[in-house]
Amino acid sequence: MPWKGIRDPYRIWLSEIILQQTRVDQGEKYYLNILKHYPNIQALAKADEAAVFRLWQGLGYYSRCRNLLATAKMIVEEFEGRFPENYQDILKLKGIGPYTAAAISSFAFNLPYAVVDGNVIRVLSRYFGHFQEADTTTGKRFFAELAQECLDPKHAGLYNQAIMDLGATVCKPALPNCPECPFKKTCFAYQQQKIKELPVPKKRAAVIERDLHFVVLENKSHLLIKRRSGRDIWQNLYAFPQRDDDVLMANKLNPSKKQAPDLILEQTLTHRKIKGHFYRIPVTRKPQALIDSDHLWVPISELSHFAFPRLIISFFQKLNYL
DNA sequence: AAGACGGGGAA
DNA sequence: TTCCCAGTCTT
């Protein structure tokens, strides 16, 4: 891992944000790419927001990107570019919760705060044989206290790195390599053959289906895209105006409910199954009425300048636009 | 306390 | 398919 052994809080911060709910293999190239464009927090703070989102495209959990920008600006403007050096102040930053605050505190400043992530929960629950559910308030508190007791306060960074490495490489979720584990002799789960029962799995919300009706206004060279805002999914990414969008209504280009879509594409997420209905409407020129700053009439050749969710990229690929 | 938020790799 | 990942924020 390219961030291993780094003490620069900026790089640690960036890597930890990227690795939230994201595998090392998946996040690594994003980390290197973003670091190449923005080698320090000053560069990131004055970055063009859309450009950073473009680099983030495909990683998921886009609020991380938004908070990353906000925190970079905050640190540069309020703290003269110096990363806060104590846990409580680090925890206050946007996008940084207990895990990331402990990671930065211990890796960058060797402060005695134990990280608690999926790896740590797994290792501790198996080793000690604790059947608490980790996604409840009491369960979280329990594992946080246990982790803090296990921490070697003199070597917090090393300890945190070690227990997460153990979880990632030996004490894996499925098929852990117990015979090679240095703790096998005193591990509850291994000795009692409870590996498959620990950790106790989280309750999982049902996957709900959702239909999105996208209207693609296009001529030979251009099409209309819309920046997504509000509280909905894919904030700050670009897609198309949806059926009943004000601009479509104002230009009398809204497809009727009876009209069949030209294309249907699906994308399954952790908690949603998105069904995208695409209605292609040929137009001769850019629609005029009610166009605001979120609606962009862009050349097809310049689509790569914008960040889109996977579903929309699939649409473009289907049409050979990308 | 529960739900929202992406995407991908492994079994 | 199902699980779940170096989690955090909002309601």
- Helix A63-78 to helix A49-56 angle (10° resolution) is 140
**Residue A185 beta carbon within 7 A of nucleic strand C:** no
- Each residue's pLDDT expressed in tens, for chain A with a length of 322 residues: 788 888 999 999 999 999 999 999 999 999 999 999 999 999 999 999 999 999 999 999 999 999 999 999 999 999 999 999 999 999 999 999 999 999 999 999 999 999 999 999 999 999 999 999 998 899 999 999 999 999 999 999 999 999 999 999 999 998 899 999 999 999 999 999 999 999 998 877 777 888 899 999 999 999 999 999 888 888 889 999 999 999 999 999 999 999 999 999 988 887 888 989 999 999 999 999 888 989 999 999 999 999 999 899 989 989 999 8
Q: Write A164-173 long-range contacts (CB < 8 A, 24+).
A: A164/A115, A164/A117, A164/A119, A164/A120, A166/A119, A166/A123, A167/A118, A167/A119, A167/A120, A167/A122, A167/A123, A168/A24, A168/A119, A171/A119, A171/A122, A171/A123, A171/A126, A173/A122
Identify the CATH number of the domain defined by range A208-318: 3.90.79.10
Q: Which residues touch strand B (CB under 7 A)?
A: A 21-23, 25-26, 58-63, 136-138, 174-175, 205, 208, 231-235, 267, 269-272, 309-311
A16 is catalytic: yes
Q: What is the pLDDT of residue A282?
A: 96
Q: What is the pLDDT of residue A231?
A: 80
User: Which CATH superfamily includes the segment(s) A9-197?
Assistant: Hypothetical protein; domain 2 (1.10.340.30)
| Chain C bases closer than 7 angstroms to a protein Cβ | 2-11
Domain edges within chain A? 9-197, 208-318
Q: What is the pLDDT of residue A78?
A: 95
Q: What is the pLDDT of residue A262?
A: 95
Nucleotide B8 C1' to residue A26 CA (A): 8
CATH topology agreement for domains A9-197 and A208-318:
no
Q: What is the pLDDT of residue A229?
A: 84
| Chain B bases closer than 7 angstroms to a protein Cβ | 1-11
**Cα dihedral: A299, A211, A229, A238 (round 10):** -20
Of how many residues is chain A composed?
A: 322
